[in-house]
């Protein structure tokens, strides 16, 4: 097959790496990139999220990260959360699987291979529709392929991405896959962080994760995105759920100057369930986007989505949630709720919940609320001797706690609350004073 030379449709930051690709799958992805271009705000699904932060950069293949910095980042990650520190872990450094920092022994019935070895792109992703997935398909180097055998209760795993850009703009595009056999269960706790001194250059982290959940299997996927302020994080998740299976997810967005967490979940069998919950705490000029497309393709399915945002300074959050109910999917029960707490007059939330229903026996609803802190509640707390800054943090924490409590794993939930409390302590007071 002849090499493909990329044309300029927003692809200039990657042109040097896209030129000359000859692998059939990757070349086809480059062809789709030529056709689609990187998404602009003229693309409906990207109307509220602008990728102009990528322009003017030339993203090279990332270099190595100092091992001492990686070790320090991992040691500092869990703090007092010993239960999580003891879990099996799979660690990627700048998008490459690191055997030195990963667990070598896995429980019986669980297998792990690297994408670099298998080069298996799976069948769920849609590079012909999703430009960032096409970019990942073209440039993916490594990732984790995790398989849990039928009936195996695998417990919890950590999937950790540690990044450091150094002095040169770089991008990495991990390709992950998780497959659960019939009746299996797994909790996947994904963490995206940067080393303490990530370097002055910008980096792009563009992962794709595919999840196959068989009959009666249950996958819990919890993610914390806490990348450096010079990072762009654009993640895409696909989940296919078979009869009586479940995909239960939660994402906490804290870092990166621009972040997008996009989920495409499909209920393929009857009595399947999907939960796509999340929270974002954003300040400065951060942009955080949570987008979902949930397809009900079988009867008696249940989907839930609860997302809460806390926004300060000039931060902006985006929520796009679409529930599509096919004609066959009778007795579907779908619910979406997006809520935002604005702590600055300059903060912004763009919410676009959608329902597209072709069945006639369903129970579906969606809603959105936007507001500020309740002055009466603040007065009540201050009247009892609680300092203003602490009172504000208490109210914001209470706003977020209800969403975090949707996570069932106690140790993971405790870690999430630690991260929430730390972010609020660092940001809420400053955001309020700036207002």
Q: Which has the closest alpha carbon to 346: 254, 259, 258, 434?
A: 434
Specify the pLDDT at position 266: 98
Q: Based on the number of CB atoms within 10 Å of its own CB, is 260 exposed (0-12), middle (13-18) or buried (19 or more)? A: buried
Cβ 186 vs Cβ 64: under 8 Å = no
Residue 397 CA to residue 403 CA, distance in Å, equals 10
**Residue 78 domain flag:** yes
Which tens digits make up the pLDDT trace of 352-403? 999 999 999 999 999 999 999 988 888 888 888 898 888 888 999 999 999 9
Task: Give whichever of 85-89, 101-105, 334-338 has the largest mean pLDDT.
Answer: 334-338
Structure tokens at 156: 């919890």
| 235 DSSP β-pair partners | 261
pLDDT at 8 exceeding the cut of 80: no
Express the helix, strand and coil content of the chain in percent, nearest 5 each: 25, 40, 35
Helix (H) or strand (E) holding 426: helix 410-434
**Residue 380 domain flag:** no
Specify the pLDDT at position 362: 96
User: What is the percent of the chain where pLDDT is above 90?
Assistant: 78
Which tens digits make up the pLDDT trace of 159-183? 999 998 778 899 999 999 999 999 9
**Residue 298 domain flag:** yes
Specify the pLDDT at position 79: 72
- The number of C-alpha atoms within 13 Å of 188 and in the hemisphere containing its C-beta is 32
Residue 110 CA to residue 186 CA, distance in Å, equals 10
The phi and psi torsions of 395 (rounded to 5 degrees) equal -70, -40
Report the range of poorest mean pLDDT among 5-14, 29-38, 310-319.
5-14
Strands 218-226 and 203-205: unpaired
Strands 144-148 and 110-114: antiparallel
Q: What is the CA radius of gyration of the chain?
A: 21
400: which residues sit within 8 A by CB, 6+ positions away? 279, 281, 308, 310, 420
**Residue 70 domain flag:** yes
Specify the pLDDT at position 2: 40
pLDDT greater at residue 5 or residue 211 = 211
Give the range of the structural domain holding residue 159, as residue numbers without chain letter: 64-373
How many domains does the chain contain in total? Answer: 1
Task: Tell whether pTM > 0.75.
Answer: yes
**Residue 228 domain flag:** yes
Specify the pLDDT at position 335: 95
Residue 346 CA to residue 283 CA, distance in Å, equals 11
**Residue 383 domain flag:** no
3-class SS of residue 94: coil
**Residue 111 domain flag:** yes
Average pLDDT over residues 34-52: 93
User: What is the percent of the chain where pLDDT is above 70?
Assistant: 96
Sign of the C-alpha dihedral, residues 206, 207, 208, 213? negative
Specify the pLDDT at position 5: 44
Crossing angle (nearest 10°) for helices 24-36 and 131-139:
150
Cβ 267 vs Cβ 284: under 8 Å = no
194: which residues sit within 8 A by CB, 6+ positions away? 73, 162, 163, 164, 226, 227, 228, 231, 255
**Residue 87 domain flag:** yes
Specify the pLDDT at position 429: 55
Which tens digits make up the pLDDT trace of 179-227? 999 999 999 999 999 998 867 889 999 999 999 999 999 999 999 999 9
Cβ 396 vs Cβ 341: under 8 Å = yes
Residue 90: pLDDT band with limits 50, 70, 90? very high
Q: Please tell me what DSSP assigns to residue 124.
A: S
pLDDT at 106 exceeding the cut of 90: no
pLDDT greater at residue 10 or residue 59 = 59
Average pLDDT over residues 285-306: 98
Average pLDDT over residues 98-126: 91
Specify the pLDDT at position 150: 98
Which tens digits make up the pLDDT trace of 238-258? 999 999 999 999 999 999 999
Average pLDDT of the residues of the chain: 92
Specify the pLDDT at position 4: 41
pLDDT at 152 exceeding the cut of 70: yes
């Amino acid at each position: 097959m002849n090499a493909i030379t990329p044309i300029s449709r927003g692809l200039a930051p990657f042109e040097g790496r896209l030129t000359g690709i000859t692998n059939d799958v990757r070349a086809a992805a480059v062809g789709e990139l030529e056709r689609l271009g990187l998404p602009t705000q003229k693309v409906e699904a990207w109307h509220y999220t602008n990728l102009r932060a990528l322009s003017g950069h030339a993203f090279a293949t990332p270099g190595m990260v100092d091992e001492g910095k990686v070790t320090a980042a991992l040691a500092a990650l869990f703090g007092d959360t010993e239960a999580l520190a003891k879990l099996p872990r799979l660690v990627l450094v700048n998008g490459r699987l690191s055997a030195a920092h990963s667990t070598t022994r896995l429980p019986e019935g669980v297998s792990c291979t690297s994408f670099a070895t298998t080069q298996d792109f799976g069948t769920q992703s849609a590079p012909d529709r999703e430009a960032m997935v096409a970019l990942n398909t073209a440039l993916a180097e490594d990732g984790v392929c995790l398989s849990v055998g039928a009936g195996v209760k695998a417990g919890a795993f950590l999937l950790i991405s540690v990044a450091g850009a150094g002095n040169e703009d770089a991008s990495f595009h991990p390709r992950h896959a998780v497959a659960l056999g019939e009746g299996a269960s797994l909790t996947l706790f994904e963490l995206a962080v940067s080393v303490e001194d990530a370097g002055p250059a910008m980096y792009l982290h563009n992962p794709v994760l595919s999840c196959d959940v068989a009959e009666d299997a249950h996958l819990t996927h919890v993610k914390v995105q806490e990348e450096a302020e010079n990072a762009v994080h654009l993640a895409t998740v696909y989940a296919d759920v078979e009869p009586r299976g479940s995909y239960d997810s939660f994402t906490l967005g804290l870092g990166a100057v621009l972040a997008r967490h996009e989920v495409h979940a499909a209920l393929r069998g009857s009595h399947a369930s999907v939960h796509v919950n999340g929270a974002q705490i954003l300040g400065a000029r951060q942009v955080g986007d949570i987008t979902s497309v949930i397809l009900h393709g079988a009867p008696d399915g249940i989907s839930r989505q609860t997302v809460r945002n806390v926004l300060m300074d000039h931060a902006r959050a985006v929520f796009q949630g679409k529930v599509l109910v096919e004609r066959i999917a009778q007795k579907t029960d779908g619910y979406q709720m997006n809520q935002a707490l604005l702590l600055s007059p300059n903060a912004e939330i763009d919410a676009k919940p959608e329902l597209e229903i072709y069945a006639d026996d369903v129970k579906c609803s969606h809603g959105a609320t936007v507001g500020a802190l309740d002055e009466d509640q603040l007065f009540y707390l201050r009247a009892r001797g609680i300092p203003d800054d602490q009172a504000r943090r208490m109210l914001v924490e209470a706003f977020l706690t209800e969403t975090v409590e949707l996570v069932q794993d106690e140790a993971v939930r405790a870690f999430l609350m630690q991260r929430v409390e730390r972010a609020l302590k660092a940001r809420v007071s400053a955001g309020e004073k700036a207002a």
